[in-house]
Structures are given as C-alpha cells and as structure tokens.
Amino acid sequence: MAIAAATGATAASRFGNLTLNHFIIRRQALALYRGFLRDLKGAPNKRDLQQWVRSEFERTRFETDLARIQNYIAAGKAERKRLANMVSLGQA
C-alpha cells in the first residue's frame, strides 16, 4: 500500500476493474471465512483445520469471475455446515 501511495496510484488502479458486485461478494467471502474460524473454536485439531480453510481461500483469492466466486461461496457455506457438525460431534 505504501508503494501505491508513493507512486500516486489510485484505488481504481490497485483494484483493477472490479465492480460494486465484486466488493459485495468480497464481504460475503470474508464473512464466510470468519464464520469458519468461529466454528473451529474448541476443535481438537484447530490448527490443522485453520490451515486447511486458509489454503482453500488463498487458492481462489484472485478469482474475478462473479459466477465462479458465487459458486465458491455456496460450496463454502455447505462445507462450513459439514465442518461445524463434525466439530460439534468431536466435542460431545
């Protein structure tokens, strides 16, 4: 960010050609990520699961196709449910 400020780059050039929908979906993805981390509190293998969640999000970090991002979010929500069930069973 300091480089962008030093070179006089604008926000538009830093983010490319992203639309308002991209920023809305980005917010949904961050909320999903935070939800995963909340669900992992108290899990016996918390570190491993956190690394797995992070790697999955990092793998798709630079995707710009809205349809694909929405598919990733939908799949992530389903995976979060499965993971939450697995963690709750492990704590019982």
User: Mean pLDDT score of the chain, rounded to an integer?
Assistant: 85
> Could you tell me the pTM of the whole model?
0.78
- Looking at residue 1, what is its pLDDT? 39
pLDDT above 50 (res 61): yes
Mean pLDDT computed over 22-42: 94
Task: Give the pLDDT confidence score for residue 49 in this predicted structure.
Answer: 93
Let me know if 52 is exposed, middle or buried by CB neighbors in 10 A (0-12, 13-18, 19+): middle
pLDDT at residue number 50: 95
- Round the CA-based radius of gyration of the chain to a whole number and report it: 16
